[in-house]
Structures are given as C-alpha cells and as structure tokens.
Structure 1
Amino acid sequence: MASDDAVAIQVAKRAGELSVITINCPDQTGLGCDLCRTILEFGLRITRGDLSTDGQWCYLVLWVIPCSASSNIHWTSLKNRLISICPTWSFPFDIDSSNQPMHSQVYLMKLFSTDRKGLLHDVTRVLCELELLIHRVKVSTTPDCKAMNLFFITDGMELLHTQRRQDETREQLSAILGESLYSFEILPANGFQHGFSSLPPQVAENLFGLELVDNELCSHSVTPDMKNLKKPDLNFDNTLSHTSTLLQIHCVDQKGLLYDILRTLKDCNIQIAYGRFMSHTKGSREIDLFIQQTDGKKITDPEKQEFLFSRLRSEMLHPLRVMIVNRGPETELLVANPVELSGKGRPRVFYDSTLALKLLGICIFSVSKLQSLNTFWSQYCDYSISTYIYHLQAEIGRHSSSDREWEVYRFLLVDSNDLPLSSRHAKNHIVDRVRRTLMGW
C-alpha cells in the first residue's frame, strides 16, 4: 500500500458539518495518541471515533470539526503530517524505523515590536496558522512600550531552514504588526533545552496537588454552574472478551478529551484492541475501549486497575491547571499541563490562554509602573533606565512535581478598571474564562 493511501480526509462541504479522517496503517503503541495530538494541534475537535487493531495493523475513523468557526484548516498539511506519523512496513514485515519522524530542528525567532493589547495572541495565531510549533517563550517589555518576543519553535513542515519559509513567516507577521515591527530574525537554536520554571513550594503544591483528584473541579478555577458537572464514571469488565479488558468511560465532554485518554494509556503502556468514541449528549461522552497490557493479557490485577482508574480520572478532571497568584505587588496567571513521557507537551495551550486574555481585554504586564520608576530614576541619572531594563511578562517553562513533568505558562497581568485584579471576583472570572477556553466549554 502506498504511504499516501494511509490517510484519507473527506472535508465537510458546509460549515458546521463534520469532516471524516480515515487512517489505515501499521500499528504501534501510542499511535492513537500521536494522531490525536496532531489533530488537536491543527485546531480540530474529535466528536466521534472508531478504532480497531489486530496488534499489527490498525484502522481509525475520526469525525472532526474546527474548534472555532473562524479557523482556517490546512487539510493538505494535516494529511501530510498524519502520514508522517504513520509507521511503514519493510520486508520481512517489520516496522521500518528509518521512516519514522526524527527530532525537529529548534529555531529561535526574535521579534522586536511596539507593545499593544493582544499582541502576544496575534503573533501566536500567525505561528499556529503557519504550523510553527511553540516550545518555549520569553516575552519582555520595556518602559517605552516596546516588546521583545523570543519564541523557540519547530516547523511542522520542516522547511524553516529555507529562506523562502522564513520570508513567508516575516510577511505574515508584518501583515499583522505593520510598521510596529522593528526587527525580525530566525536562528537555529542549537543545544536547545526546555527551561525550568521556579515556583514557590506553596504555589506548586496548590497547582499540582493530588488533592485536586478528590474534588469534582478545582474550586478556585470554576464558576458555580460548572460544579454541577458529574465526575468521570469508569468501569472495568473482564467478562466480555477472552483477550481484552473492557474499559467504559462516561464523562464530561471537553476539548482534547480523546487525546487526554490516549495520552494516559500510552504513558501507562496500555494497548487498545478496539475503541469507540461516541457522540456527546447534553455535554457528556461515552467511550468504550478494549485494552490490553503490553504482553497481550487482560488487566485483572485490582491494584493495576485502581492505578489506571485514578490516573485516568485525574487526567479527565484536570488535564489543565489554572490559577492566579500574587507575585509581590504583581498578579500572575499560571496555566499548567502534564508533559507526555515522550517529552511532548499539549498543543495550543499558549494560543488558547492568550486568546482568553485578549477576549477579556486584559493586557499582559503594566508598563505604567515601570514608566513611573523610569521617571523617578531619571531624576537622579542623566540616562534613561528604559535603555536596559526589561520586565518579563510571559514565559513557558517546565516544572517537575510528584515524579511528573509539567509545562507551565506564566503571564504577568495588568490591572484594569473593568477587571480590578485586587477583586477576588475578577480573579475568579479570569481563571474561569481561561479554563473554559482551554477546555472548549
């Protein structure tokens, strides 16, 4: 079978209708997770799905719809990316590892421009549309209303080493930023490593604490109407199949739900023989998965069942953690998600977080306070402090907690008349809006 035949996409003819993605290729552990991550990365939501495999060959049918009505989906690029993930066979019928995707080159994109409300999201949206994946960000501002944006990125199309691809990126960003763009540069980030975010112990405990598992939803991150949602209902049944354990899940629907479930099973070395992801009714989902251990046996050990139950329940309740903390006189928004054992983070978290802040009309970082400091400093010096002081306003880093690694997004927020950050109600509203955007509620 030709590799191009491994993926077929039937695009919906009208807005609001479902597109169908069919994947027919050799199987390997965690393949479903990798495919769902890519689909989520392209801004698509899986509404229904069927999966079957005999351990060597798998067949998937996924019904998808854009997460946003304004999304412009690049279907050809999506097909090419999915094909690149699918394993291939080589004689004598083994998976050919030479055709598997290698680690992508990481690039540093430097962007210096005038700062303004919504700047960070507008840049992020352009990068997502260009299939440039964001792995780390450091955004700083100066007291004279300029922003230095450092994005560590990889190219889903693997073309960023070419001048044509770099020029395309510059043109797309220039179309958004206009004359406010002062300088732009893309360089290879050789030796790139994910930076680690230093969080105070109490903040880390509240953000990653295991006690969240026992609560229906984090009390400081949802409004009262969301607390009425039911907890995930999971059930193991070993009577319906001679070779597999049936895992039945009934839970609240949310963006990336199938990815979260398959990511957890992949990290726990659980294989899926057959699965069905059924259409939601009144905001809920039903999932049936026939699963096996890597040795092909059922999951009959009560301790293993309990471990898998707790892990899946936690990931479905809290695939993302959102909270607001005080950092001295400033207010900081924290968003965190668990990193796969493979080292890959969840897609589009930075995009959704900045989108929520933009829709709320919240600026990141208060220039006025540093301008006041600059005025004060200039009374005693004959040069401007703005020439060398940068204040960190947004950052992506990693944090290790409870034997797990998390990706942490940090945003320094600006107080406003509409949403005074000193108000507890305003803080809860911000956290709730960010969480709803991330979860697709």
Structure 2
Amino acid sequence: MRVLGGAGGDDDVVQIKEASKSGEPFVITVNCPDKTGLACDVFRIILDFGLSIAKGDISTDGIWCYIVLWVIPHSTLLATSCSFLKDRLQSVCPPCSASFYLVQQPPRSSPEYLLKFCCLDRKGLLHDVTKVLSELELSIQKVKVTTTPDGRVLDLFFVTDNMELLHTRKRQDETCARLNNVLQDSCVSCELQLAGPEYECNQGITSLSPVLAEELFQCELSDNERRSQALSPDMTKLKRTNVIIDNSLSPAHTLIQIHCADHKGLLYDIMRTLKDMNIKISYGRFSPNTKGYRDLDIFIQQKDGKKILDSGKQSALCSRLKQEMLHPLRVMIASRGPDTELLVANPVELSGKGRPRVFYDVTYALKTLGICVFSAEVGRYSASAREWEVYRFLLDENCEFHLTSVAARNQIVDRVRRTLMGW
C-alpha cells in the first residue's frame, strides 16, 4: 500500500494510503491544529474531487484535530491526482507552528481569471469544457454562455486555479491547448487573462421574478412539494430521516444522532451547516452506507464550549439539519417567455464558497439526455436571509424532448437531481 506523505513537520499533516486492490477504499488521515469548520473544508475538497466517503472518524480536543476517512476512489484517480488532493487538503489545515496559536491568519483568496473562447455549437460542448477545467484543477466561479444567431457559442468562464499557477505562461498555454484539443476544428478563438472590472459586472444573475424566486428559495416545504421537489428517491426515505439530540451521555458535549438517506455530499452538507451555525465538533463517527442509509454520531459544543441545553436552540439545529439534508439543492424547470429554462440553486457557505461540481453534474446530465444549452449563467442571489448560488440554463428546443411537455420536463428534472445526488 503506497502512502503519500512527507518526512516530517507540516508534510505529515495529510497522508493518503492508496488501496492495494481495485475497489478498496483509500485511507486519508488529517492530523493538524484544530479550527472551527475544518471538517467542512476537508469534506468540500473531497466532494470537489468527485470522491465518496465510505466511513470516517473525527476527534479533537479543541487544540488538535485528527480525521480518518475511508474514501472510495473513482477509476480516473491516478497517483498525480492523489498528490493534488493531498496538497489541497493540506492547504485548508492550520500550520503546525507555535505562532498559529497566537494569530490565525485569514485564508488567502485566489485571483480570478477570465477564460473566453468562441466556437461552433454542438451537443455536450459545455460539459466537455467543464470536464477539462475540472481535470486541470480550475474551479469555476461564474459562467456566462451565449449562442449567437450564426450558431457560434461565446463562453465566459471566471475561474480560480487550485494549483496557484495560472499566472505563468506555461499553465495558461496548457489550459488553452487542452481546450483546443477538445474543441478541435470547432474552436474559433481562446483567450485567458486575469479578470478585470468585467468580473465585478458578472457577480449577479439576471433578475428572477418574485414568483419564481419564492418557489425556488422557499424555506419550508409542504408534503406535496417535498414529494415533487425534495432530492430523495421516495417519500419513504424522507419520512425515515431522523435527527435526535441527547445531552445525557456526556457531561460536556451534546450528542447529535442522525439517520438519513445517503446522497453525494451528505457529510459536506451536514458539516457546512454546523460550520455556519458556529458549532464545534469534538468527536464524530460516520458509519458506512447500509441499504441507502447513513448513521452518524456527532458530539458537539456551542462556540462558548458549552452544551446545547436551550430547547429552542435544539429545535432550530434539528430543523436546519433536516432541511439541509432533505433539500440541499433546488432543481426546477420554468418558462422564460416562449423558452424553457432549467434552474438549480444551492446555499452558499457563510465563508462565501459555493457547492463544488454542480455545473459539472448538471451539464453532464443534460449531455446524457442529448439536450443542448442555448445560454447559461452562474451567479449569486440573496433570498430567505442567505446567499445562494444560482445556475440558469436556457435549453435548446432542437432536441428529442418536447420541452413543453410536463412528462419531458419531469424527466429532465429527475435526471439532473439524480446526477447531483449521485443516485
């Protein structure tokens, strides 16, 4: 079994033991100073790599944290990818130095770059480009895609580089070369540059109507709405989702016990919720998927280091966790004049980070359905006292689906949901 790690010091913060046999999980260990939300940051990166966590343990004394995760690799996860994964995980870990305990430095933001290219349109184009960017470790922040009357596509991708090398000519040339290789003769032009004032102009999205916004961002769902919108295979699994709080087992910690349907990014959804609510995790155990369900035991404290004894706070925590587990992503189809629009929305962390791989998964689902995208945009929207990342796709009607048909629309929404949730 090969181990990716260092010879000492900060290099030993993250270790990855590759599986000795095909199909067996990798073992990832993170051993570093603790910080609120560390588990969320770690799980977000693992989700960004398209990996699935089979089981895991988290333990911390408030000063030092130890995380062990058994991760199922996908077939394309090579040794080089593991090296990038190790670097990414290490980047969110606090430094192992005495100065860390005196002053915690805020995370450094990566510069945004504008990737602009023009090409001839074809089915699956948008996903093929997104796949290349993912393989290059480029994170998509904003997107603006437009189809011109002559059948050309003008794409604006605002990206950040997880490898922090996009300022170099070599990295820029590699990115354009990889895109040209995918686009081939259909590529008209490809440019890459540091994003200027135009980036600020593309932060938001085209305004949503009040009716559409209310349906997309509503907090509470009726049973009928959950049956049609909630991201779960069936209503039985919705009803069997339980969140229980117990203060009797530990003198210093509150225990949260969760039993719920499993989905891609479930542990990330739980951890980002706890992070945004300023909840500290002292110990957590995540059991393997059993018949489509997960069981989690998490010992937590409030920010002040005390148990959660107030019944109102307990109820609010349980309600928020259930909401984020049952409804982590919003997917719907609406009419924009004579056209058909697919909308996907997910809540943004208080840190400003959106859920990874959403654009990748949605474009993949549309590609498998043979649906072209006439235009697309990704931006931020404030609603229901929080910020959302909203993905809007205007669908091309020149496909095998009759987009005005209710059955066809339901099929598109179902495929997109299932792809996003890993079902």
Q: What range describes the TM-score normalised by the shorter chain of this pair? A: over 0.9
1: CA distance, partners of 2:317 / 2:124: 41
Q: Deviations over 1:58-101 (max 9, x none)?
A: 000011124x5456671100101111111014336616535x64
Contact kept, 8 Å, 2:231 with 2:326, in 1: the verdict is no
Q: Deviations over 1:231-256 (max 9, x none)?
A: 32000000000110000000000000
Three-state SS of the structure 2 residue aligned to 1:52 is strand
Structure 1: any 5+ residue segments left out of the alignment? Answer: 366-392
Match of 1:4? 11
Contact kept, 8 Å, 1:112 with 1:148, in 2: the verdict is yes
Structure 2: any 5+ residue segments left out of the alignment? Answer: 1-7
Give 1 or 2 for the bigger CA radius of gyration: 1
1:225–1:25 distance in 2 versus 1, CA, 3 Å: closer
1:95–1:140 distance in 2 versus 1, CA, 3 Å: farther
Pick from 242, 253, 256: which aligns with 2:251? 242
Contact kept, 8 Å, 1:89 with 1:96, in 2: the verdict is no
Identical positions, percent: 58
Give the alignment of 1:35-434 within 5 angstroms: 35-66=42-73, 69=75, 74-91=81-98, 94=101, 97-98=104-105, 101-190=107-196, 192-193=199-200, 194-212=203-221, 214-215=222-223, 218-221=226-229, 226-231=234-239, 232-365=241-374, 393-416=375-398, 418-434=400-416
What's the C-alpha RMSD, in Å, of the aligned pairs?
A: 1.8
2: CA distance, partners of 1:330 / 1:285: 40
Aligned length: 411
Contact kept, 8 Å, 1:125 with 1:351, in 2: the verdict is yes
**TM-score, with structure 2 as normaliser:** 0.93
Does 38-47 or 70-79 show the bigger shift?
Answer: 70-79
Q: Deviations over 1:120-157 (max 9, x none)?
A: 00000000010100000000011211111000000000
Deviation of residue 345 (structure 1)?
A: 0.3
Contact kept, 8 Å, 2:231 with 2:417, in 1: the verdict is no
Q: Deviations over 1:352-388 (max 9, x none)?
A: 00000000111112xxxxxxxxxxxxxxxxxxxxxxx
1: CA distance, partners of 2:381 / 2:182: 33
Deviation of residue 402 (structure 1)?
A: 1.0
Three-state SS of the structure 2 residue aligned to 1:279 is coil
1:65–1:419 distance in 2 versus 1, CA, 3 Å: same
Contact kept, 8 Å, 1:322 with 1:333, in 2: the verdict is yes
Deviation of residue 16 (structure 1)?
A: 2.1
Contact kept, 8 Å, 1:216 with 1:317, in 2: the verdict is no
2: CA distance, partners of 1:154 / 1:225: 34
Does 164-173 or 85-94 show the bigger shift?
Answer: 85-94
1:109–1:224 distance in 2 versus 1, CA, 3 Å: closer
| One-letter code aligned to 1:30 | G
Three-state SS of the structure 2 residue aligned to 1:167 is helix
